[in-house]
């Protein structure tokens, strides 16, 4: 007999998380518990307003699937029973966790993964100070959240503060096409290793019309394998997040197909607890960049993983 329970949780952040779309002070997640045969698997998702999701809408989607799950809906069947998104992610990961516990599977292959540390939008001076703190803790890759303002000034300030760190930039769709090729050249000249989602997903065709002096990564433009044909020629890398793919099942398939088509991979997450990072872990060894620092922003965490020296450790 299968039982499924879901509930929301809110996790306060240590400090405000500021990106081009605004600021957040807490992480709102939805948890799914999938129980059968005395074993309970747990999954977590982060509803994201950018994709039309809220805690209430995700809870409603999950409730609608409970009867089918209790009647034996499988992970394979779930892929067509629900669209890609946060609700399917929480269920798929709970079922994957249940399968792992039932089979007595050990931890993922790698007991630790490197992870970037995010620097949220601030003045050039504030971002430089944050960079100094991060590298002082052993972080080697810094991810700069940027909007359209003071782009080069912020990059130069962080570069001066952390000359040995690898820098990647996430614009979260905030930039526009005018001047983008020249800006990409300037970023490459300053040693930026990768640029993530500079243009809105619906306006990214321009990316196919100029040579990329640094890799450009699709985030909001890439959800599932269905997106891959459109992304070819526009992007060089894919940011895979379980909340976009609708769970680990599609994420693994997307990673395999994306690599076959020549894309490099980035593994990302939303603001989340360590539960969500554990669920994404199997993809870590495939990724050129791993961005799993979501739990480091929480004032407290559930069953926390250990983040130390620019790595996250399986515990």
The residues assigned a catalytic role are 145, 241
Calpha distance 251→230 (Å, rounded): 18
Calpha distance 214→188 (Å, rounded): 6
Residue 102 contacts by C-beta under 8 Å, 6 or more apart in sequence?
37, 39
Residue 108 near residue 314, CB atoms below 8 Å: yes
Cα 189 from chain centroid?
27
Tell whether the torsion through CA atoms of 133, 136, 142 and 143 is positive or negative: negative
Tell whether the torsion through CA atoms of 239, 242, 244 and 247 is positive or negative: positive
Overall residue count recorded for the chain in this entry: 315
The two tokens of residue 185 are: 């050249």
């Amino acid at each position: 007999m299968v039982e499924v329970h879901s509930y929301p949780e809110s996790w306060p952040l240590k400090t405000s998380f500021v990106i081009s779309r605004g600021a957040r002070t807490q992480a709102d997640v939805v948890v799914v518990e999938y129980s059968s045969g005395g074993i309970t698997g747990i999954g977590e998702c982060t509803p994201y307003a950018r994709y039309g999701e809220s805690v209430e809408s995700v809870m409603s989607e999950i409730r609608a699937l409970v009867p089918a799950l209790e009647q034996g809906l499988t992970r394979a069947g779930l892929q067509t029973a629900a669209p890609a998104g946060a609700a399917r992610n929480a269920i798929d990961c709970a079922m994957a966790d249940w399968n792992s516990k039932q089979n007595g599977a050990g931890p993922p292959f790698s007991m630790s993964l490197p992870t970037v540390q995010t620097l949220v939008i601030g003045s050039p001076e504030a971002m430089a100070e944050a960079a100094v703190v991060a590298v002082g803790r052993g972080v080697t890759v810094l991810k700069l959240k940027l909007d359209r303002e003071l782009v080069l000034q912020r990059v130069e300030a962080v570069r001066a503060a952390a000359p040995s760190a690898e820098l990647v930039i996430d614009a979260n769709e905030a930039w526009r096409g005018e001047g983008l090729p020249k800006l990409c050249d300037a970023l490459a000249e300053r040693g930026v290793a990768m640029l993530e989602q500079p243009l809105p997903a619906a306006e990214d065709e321009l990316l196919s019309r100029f040579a990329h002096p640094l890799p450009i990564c699709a985030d909001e433009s890439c959800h599932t394998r269905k997106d891959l044909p459109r992304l070819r020629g526009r992007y060089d890398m894919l940011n895979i997040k379980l909340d976009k793919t609708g769970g680990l099942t599609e994420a693994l398939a997307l990673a395999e197909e994306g690599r076959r088509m020549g894309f490099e991979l980035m593994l990302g997450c939303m603001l989340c607890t360590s539960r969500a990072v554990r669920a994404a872990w199997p993809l870590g060894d495939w990724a050129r960049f791993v961005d799993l620092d979501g739990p480091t922003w929480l004032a407290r965490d559930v069953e926390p993983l250990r983040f130390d020296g620019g790595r996250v450790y399986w515990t």
